[in-house]
Amino acid sequence: MKNESLVRNWIEFADMDANMASFTFENMHPKPLELICYHCQQAAEKILKALLIAISENEDVQKTHDLALLADSLSETIEISDLIYNACSDLTPYGVKVRYPKEVFVDETMTQKALNDMTKILGWGKTEMENLMQKA
């Protein structure tokens, strides 16, 4: 893979966002639910962008926070299940709107779902990355 170092950097940053979201959910009280959801979206966005860089071998990725749009870009090369598309769609609003007061209401149930969606996308993305590396 031409951009293996860059791809690994994107994966490391995805893991940092995922760890931040999980740690904060488990350890902060009161829980900053909006920020946790934001980091869930960011982790998913970064693993999708890592995959895009890996398959295209281009360092530039689309500048968007729309996870379904990123998944669509991947779908020409990688099979994406409805489960992953749905998780992408559900996480997308947390990429921008939660950064501003009163844009999105978030409760603990929604935050737990965001954590679960993030975990699904990260697990799937890392499996797909391993498959790409084996083919290379």
Output the pTM of the full model.
0.94
**If the chain, 136 residues long, is cut into consecutive pieces of 10 residues, what is the mean pLDDT of each piece?**
88 98 97 96 98 86 93 94 97 87 87 98 97 84
What pLDDT shows up at residue 91?
A: 97
What pLDDT shows up at residue 134?
A: 87
What pLDDT shows up at residue 1?
A: 64
What pLDDT shows up at residue 29?
A: 95
Nearest by Cα to 53 from 125, 4, 126, 120: 4
What pLDDT shows up at residue 136?
A: 67
Structure tokens belonging to residue 57: 């071998």
